[in-house]
Structure 1
Amino acid sequence: MSKIPTRDEALELLKQYNDSDSLVRHGMAVEAVMKHFAEKMGEDQEKWGIIGLVHDLDYEKYPEQHCTMTRQILEEHEWPEDYIRAIMSHAWGMCTDDKPELPMEKVLYATDELTGLITAAVYVRPSRSILDLTVKSVKKKWKTKSFAAGANREVIMQGAEMLGIPLEELMAETIAGMQKEAESLGLRGEL
């Protein structure tokens, strides 16, 4: 029997498996973006946010078993299968065979890597703030392959295609979602 996790339970679980502030903040960034897209699409913001928050649950402790351990942990905590499947789909083609099918899964797949690129772009701004970050600025960083090299640009582009939106729109909406939580993400900077 599965039970619907609360946001507090999800955050507690994330912190139980991740000591790194940057990984927790990354989960919170993806959570903010997922909630933003859910609102735009008329979907369940709480559910989408929780899935975004814990998508990298096992990454710090089990990097070689990424997603495999997440499934095991979430099953032990009796999370619903649709939550688990959505989380698994974010690593499609890298760690899992779960192809993103639902809008929620496609958004997670498309924005996970992009939040990392956007965060890196904020850190090199004079203001160190996401509040004045533009798509143009992100596109400029995008072209420099050595910048935030860990952010898989192919996955981001494939995600935009899955969602049927231009890359620039995906960037704009991801920035907008992260701007809503600028303070808690440590991305308010000097603005």
Structure 2
Amino acid sequence: MLKREDALELLKNHVKSKNLIKHCLAVEVVMRALARRLGEDEELWGLAGLLHDLDYDYTKDDPQNHGFKTVELLKSYELPKPVLDAILAHCEKKEIVTTMEKAIYAADPVTGFIVAAALITPEKSLSVIDTDFLVRRFKEKLFAKGASREQMKSCEEFGLSLEEFLTLSLDAMRTINKELGL
């Protein structure tokens, strides 16, 4: 199986935007935290999170192929089918069925939402925001409007309340705050 270090190198070879790499790192760390919380395979979940937008530079003008191109790029690495299915599920290219698929579907937008919340503070830091702050921003429809509230609330499908999910995600992202620049 693809090792995390090799997956990160692969990501850096295919994704040129530093912000998108940071997003992938954030989704990875949230997926790992969710795997720990739910008693799942942290390595597999982390790989799905890290590689979920591997094809973005190739498909940003061709969104109907987003996800499919990643699976194609990863064919030679013989990743387990659940990882590839999760990658397809995050962008709704397959029915969302498994817990991992549900998790990545919710984790993808929550990372951007949390980054946006940190960036509106004077400190521009994850350390100054908390779950209550995030819940208040969640209720503001115009705040980070690109972060789907419906997707984030889907955390309830794998047994977490929105508050629990936001707390877990924020705590996970704080562990890599230097890499995220927050």
TM-score, normalising length from structure 1? 0.87
Instruction: Give me the identity figure in percent.
Output: 37
Distance of 1:143 and 1:18 partners within structure 2: 32
Q: 2:69 aligns to what?
A: 69
Q: Which moved more, 1:31-40 or 1:73-82?
A: 73-82
> Does the Cα contact within 8 Å between 1:86 and 1:104 map onto a contact in 2?
yes
Aligned residues: 179
Distance of 2:145 and 2:6 partners within structure 1: 33
28, 53, 56: which one pairs with 2:53? 56
Partner secondary structure for residue 57 of structure 2 = coil
177, 181, 184: which one pairs with 2:179? 184
Q: 2:6 aligns to what?
A: 9
Q: CA deviation at 1:143?
A: 2.2
| Equivalent position amino acid for 1:55 in 2 | H
Distance of 1:186 and 1:18 partners within structure 2: 18
> Does the Cα contact within 8 Å between 1:85 and 1:98 map onto a contact in 2?
no
Q: 1:120 aligns to what?
A: 116
Matches for 1:1-191 after TM superposition, within 5 Å: 4-63=1-60, 64=62, 65-92=65-92, 96-99=93-96, 101-157=97-153, 159-187=154-182
Q: CA deviation at 1:12?
A: 1.4
Residue segments in structure 2 that go unaligned for 5+ positions in a row: none
Q: CA deviation at 1:38?
A: 1.6
Q: CA deviation at 1:80?
A: 2.4
Residue segments in structure 1 that go unaligned for 5+ positions in a row: none
CA shift digits 1:66-91 (9 cap, x unpaired):
11111111114332222111211112
Q: Which moved more, 1:140-149 or 1:110-119?
A: 140-149
Distance of 1:42 and 1:82 partners within structure 2: 16
Distance of 1:19 and 1:84 partners within structure 2: 22
Distance of 1:152 and 1:76 partners within structure 2: 33
Structure 1 residue ranges (4+ consecutive) displaced by more than 4 angstroms after TM superposition: none
Distance of 1:42 and 1:108 partners within structure 2: 15
Q: Which moved more, 1:170-179 or 1:140-149?
A: 140-149
Q: Which moved more, 1:37-46 or 1:122-131?
A: 37-46
| Equivalent position amino acid for 1:166 in 2 | S
**Structural RMSD (CA):** 1.5
Q: Which moved more, 1:115-124 or 1:103-112?
A: 103-112
TM-score, normalising length from structure 2? 0.91
CA shift digits 1:66-120 (9 cap, x unpaired):
111111111143322221112111122xxx1231x22222211111101100001
